[in-house]
Amino acid sequence: MGTESTINILLIISYILMAVSILGAIVFPLYHMVTDFSKAKGALMGVLGIGLLFGISFVLSDNEVMASYEKFNITPVLSQFIGSSLVMNYILGVGVIVIALLGEVYNAFK
């Protein structure tokens, strides 16, 4: 009996510490973003770029639900969300490869 109560107390403490760390990970960047907005512009542009890329991917993906998806309870909206996530990963992957190749070509001619 003593071991179970100790485990419960330690789990509660770990949940509290996790909540504090999540709160800190959210609050402190927001505080620094508000206090020094000029440095936050780059991060906001990155977030907007990812949002724009996801929007384009969402428009490009279809919401077809195949018969094999039915056992997983996939709805048309969820199917389109999954498809847009895949399209976004494909675009990012190709972009990374292109940037790496261009960087190597640039360094070869430098």
pLDDT band at 13 (very low <50, low <70, confident <90, very high): very high
Between these two residues, 34 and 99, which has the higher pLDDT value?
99
Q: For residues 33 and 35, give the distance between their C-alpha atoms in angstroms, rounded to a whole number.
A: 6
What's the pLDDT at 84?
Answer: 94
Examine the pLDDT at 2 and tell me if it is beyond 80: no
Q: Give the residue-averaged pLDDT of 47-54.
A: 93
For tokens 């504090």, name the residue.
20
Q: Give the residue-averaged pLDDT of 45-62.
A: 92
What's the pLDDT at 64?
Answer: 86
Q: Give the residue-averaged pLDDT of 39-53.
A: 88
User: Among 68, 49, 69, 53, which residue's Cα sits nearest to residue 77?
Assistant: 69
Q: For residues 110 and 81, give the distance between their C-alpha atoms in angstroms, rounded to a whole number.
A: 43
Q: For residues 28 and 37, give the distance between their C-alpha atoms in angstroms, rounded to a whole number.
A: 13
Question: Across the chain, what does the average pLDDT equal?
Answer: 90
What's the pLDDT at 32?
Answer: 84
Domain ranges within the chain, ordered by starting residue: 1-35, 38-110
Q: Give the residue-averaged pLDDT of 72-98.
A: 93
